[in-house]
Chain A
Amino acid sequence: MTGLGPAVPRVRPRIGCAGASLALALLAFAGGALADKPVFVHPFDGAPIETPLEEGEAETPALKEFKETGVNPYRDQAEAVADGKRLYEQWCQVCHAADASGNMGPSLVDDKHVYAQTATDAGMFAIVYAGASGAMQGFSGRITQDDMLKLIAYVRSLGR
């Protein structure tokens, strides 16, 4: 093994938060308590990722709120979580396992993340949208961003 772990958090706070510690920002994102416009970044290099809508794709109220605040409104919403479960079973389960503990792909629960930014909804959204490495290719253009939020809401429901 190379021994290199996911050492560097890769979710960047907005520039206005530069004075605050990164750790604090991460905690805030993870808890969803801080209404802060998220900056989406790639887990490899922290480079910003633009997330334009596909042609004909609607910006739902939930997505609009998420992009303004970093808070996923679908968390704990039964109907959305059920939709997320359906999406997860279709797209994610084979690699990440039914309980999201990891199979061919890494764990998405219990803080055993390959990429630290997975801990926040904004960080996970960036990976689902733009991909990470190898088989984890971006899902932009394949599922809607609104569905990505539902998917994330379902994954979060597993990690409890």
Chain B
Amino acid sequence: MTMPTQRASSAQSIHLPGRLVAALALAGFGAAAVHAQQIPATPDEVARPGGTIPGAPKLALVKIADGFHDPVGVTAANDGSGRIFVVARAGRVRLVKDGKVQPEPFLDLTNFNPLGSDVQTGFVEQGLWSIALHPKFKENGHVYVHYASLPFNGASIVARFTVDPASPDQITKEQLLKSAKVLMNIPQPYYNHYGGRIAFGPDGMLYIGKGDGGWEGDPLNAGQNLNVLLAKILRIDVDTPDDVPYAVPKDNPFAKADRPQLMSLFGITEQGFAVNQIGSRPETWAYGLRNPYSFHFDAKTGDLFIADVGQNHWEEIDWQPASSKGGENYGWKFNQGSHCHPTTGPGEKCPIVGVLPVAEYPHQEPYPGAEKLTDGWGCSAQGLGVANYAGMNHTYLVGDWCSGRLFGVAWDGGASKWQMQELLQTNLQFTSGTVDADGSVLATNCVCFYTEDKGPTANPPGSLWRIMAADQVPAGAETARTRQQ
């Protein structure tokens, strides 16, 4: 158990990888200006709804395609094909090509096993969540998925499949079986808080959002336990021989924690002892997370945003600069957002453990017994993507699953603080998002709320949307019903 520490992080060291320095120079930005962001040092520096993001436009959601069964993930092709991969919770990946949903799924995990589907979907948080394309997908055809396994009693499976160049729009059952490579099998103690999204970072590593394993209140203390893979962002190197599932990147923060070593008791400082993390899982990149269902990199900077789904009262948005060396502790279950967990409301006192979020928003009841809010609230933060268009710069778009609100989170250089602004409210139940090849943010919605879930193929269908400036909506386009703030 890591002890709570009062860590007030402010000016972050600036250590830009060479590729970023080059990119920023080309873009004409000064590195100091771009990376002036600071992680909040105190709770009052954490952004909440009510802020104003400079340049934030009036937005609209334009429908790209519909008819999806519980779409809970989406990824855009990185091979120039313009294809969009929509993840259906039941265990299929649907392909949108030239604006049309292809009749056959790109990938189907429900029928390759003669005993039935390979995907556990009994609870709405279970299913196939995500697909990620290898950075060299165009050359090697590798795709990676993350799902709850039925044969393994709900365990998280991370697996790789490979596209046959002769069949670029469909991985057939035969090809699936021939090319399958399982990278990870993470046992799941309860049927909720899986996390879900997997994505490659600008460094070519695969990042995996993994929840605390469920129930509520993190009964396993997974958030602060470095010896388990739960409640973490994991980072692995997938470029290994076929008989090696994955490798731990040498620069992971706990990469060397488990190496055999001689014990030394004397002549070591307390600081020296404190960095000894024997037993820590070396795949860990960040920890202290409750349910990081979604996270996204800023394509312009390499910065990472994490939408960590909260429990009863607060949703939090975390941020780390591209220069991060990992190892951030986001505080769960000692903190939820910038608040105590369990929260008691005004006047509560507790240590802030690890790194504060940059933004947070409340549920309808921000603390037990609080007067219910009539506006600005939600229940489950779904990160959609980082927007760098239509007047938005490095703005993380976050949709709420309950309230249909679309929030923006961005650093306000003029005011030297993070801002969180409700950009609009929709009639949609947001589930996921990604950044399309053209830079615009895409979003999916389902009709699959906890109490309404009738099964991943029985619920009313969901849709795929493009978030764009309202004054750029093409004539005749179908848009989501919205309420502008």
Contacts and interface: CB of A to CB of B under 8 A. Distances in A.
Interface in B351-379: 363-365, 372-376, 378-379
A112 B374 contact: yes
A93 to B, nearest CB: 8
A102 B373 CA distance: 10
B73 to A, nearest CB: 18
Nearest to A132: B427
B372 A2 contact: no
B52 to A, nearest CB: 11
A44 B451 contact: no
B372 A91 contact: no
Interface string A40-78: 001011010000000000000000000000000000000
Q: Is the interface of B mostly helix, strand, loop or mixed?
A: loop
Contacts, number: 97
B452 A137 contact: yes
Contacts of A134: 378, 400-405, 426-430
Which among A1, A103, A142 has the greatest number of chain B C-beta atoms within 10 A?
A1
B485 interface: yes
Interface string B185-203: 0000000000000000000
B372 A107 contact: yes
Interface stretch (A3-11, A29-37, A79-87, A151-159): A3-11
Contacts of B379: 104, 135
B50 A133 contact: no
Interface string A95-120: 10000011111110000101000000
Contacts of A93: 451
A50 B404 CA distance: 22
B112 interface: no
Interface in B288-309: none
Contacts of B401: 134-135
Given A44-B425, A132-B427, A137-B447, A105 B373 contact: no
B266 interface: no
Interface in B447-464: 447, 449-452, 460
Interface string B452-485: 1000000010000000000000000000011101
A137 B429 contact: yes
A133 B450 contact: no
A80 B258 CA distance: 65
B61 to A, nearest CB: 13
Interface in B406-453: 422, 425-430, 447, 449-452
B127 interface: no
Which among A6, A47, A92, A114 has the greatest number of chain B C-beta atoms within 10 A?
A114
A92 B430 CA distance: 20
Given A2-B50, A137-B460, A94 B450 contact: yes
Contacts of B427: 42, 44, 131-134, 137
18 contacts: A1-B373, A2-B375, A2-B422, A3-B50, A3-B375, A5-B375, A44-B481, A91-B452, A92-B451, A95-B402, A95-B449, A95-B451, A105-B364, A114-B374, A114-B375, A133-B428, A134-B402, A137-B447
Interface of A: 1-6, 42, 44-45, 47, 91-95, 101-107, 112, 114, 131-135, 137, 141-142
Which 10 A-B residue pairs are closest in the complex by CB-CB distance?
A: A134-B404, A133-B404, A1-B376, A135-B449, A94-B451, A44-B483, A134-B403, A135-B402, A137-B447, A134-B402
